[in-house]
Amino acid sequence: AWPIVLADGLQLGRSPIEARTLVSLTAKQLPSYGGSSQTAADDIAHYRNLGYRVVVLAGDLRRARILCEFLDGHGIHAAADEHPDALPEPGQCLVTPGSLSAGIEFPYARLAILTDTQIAASGLRRARHKKQTNREKINSYTDLSVGDLVVHEYHGIGRFAGIVQMPVDGAVKDYIKISYAGADTLYVPATQLDLVSKYIGAGEDRPVKLSKMGGTEWARTKRAPKRPQKAWPKNSRRSTPRAAARRVTPSHPTARG
């Protein structure tokens, strides 16, 4: 018989299956890499350098082999195993068939589980970027220069202020620094690059108003539909619907005796 593991974010008073053992684990959901292969490879290398066991779930064996080639191209040796019977050694990476809705990190166990959907760009987000003509997708934060206008999906228009390093959970990680209206500053993890795009909606001669963090203006801007503007002939007066109806309504003929 196979053992059953029931994972839940909250401890429930009653469970459909009587548990023999309750174990509390600290876990963190990992963000998408937004199609940035270099960022994904850098993160995997970072986990390996910290002595983490790294497992990448690749859907099927064919995809697992493709991911192994991808990692090898970035200087990361990974083995593909269809039926692994154990976790990889500390500092090693294993690619195997499987799926999860998102990657997950177990700091206490020094284990990181990633998915191929994290590494591959999301089709939904690609479509969203195409619809927004005033944004340009960023493949790497090296595409940005200090002072560039950028758009964060949830916080709006800001100005790129550089890359800073901050200690998090005993490790130093890269963050994208964005300045907003006033003295507001946002630090975005480099692994969440898919939430940031370059603003291309105005030229240098047209000032752009920066968003204010915590405000509602950006949310209203995203929700507001664009109204098509009506074109009126030059040197003509705007007529009301009633006047227009009078112009196109034919007159009734009179009866002759």
pTM of the model: 0.46
Q: For the residues 40-57, what does the mean pLDDT come to?
A: 91
Tokens of 70: 């991808």
Q: What pLDDT is stored for residue 89 in this prediction? A: 92
- If one compares 236 and 15, the residue with the highest pLDDT of the two is 15
Rg (CA), the chain: 28
- pLDDT confidence tier of residue 195, bands split at 50, 70 and 90: confident
Strand order across the beta sheet in which 149-152 lies: 135-137, 196-199, 149-152, 156-168, 171-179, 185-189
- pLDDT confidence tier of residue 246, bands split at 50, 70 and 90: very low
User: How many other CB atoms sit within 10 Å of the CB of residue 175?
Assistant: 19
* CA–CA gap between residue 158 and residue 152 (Å, rounded): 8
* CA–CA gap between residue 100 and residue 24 (Å, rounded): 20
Looking at residue 89, what DSSP letter applies? P
Looking at residue 240, what DSSP letter applies? P
Task: Look at residue 13 and tell me whether its pLDDT is greater than 60.
Answer: no
- pLDDT confidence tier of residue 159, bands split at 50, 70 and 90: very high
Q: What pLDDT is stored for residue 26 in this prediction? A: 82
Could you give the domains of the chain?
28-119 (3.40.50.11140), 125-213 (2.40.10.170)
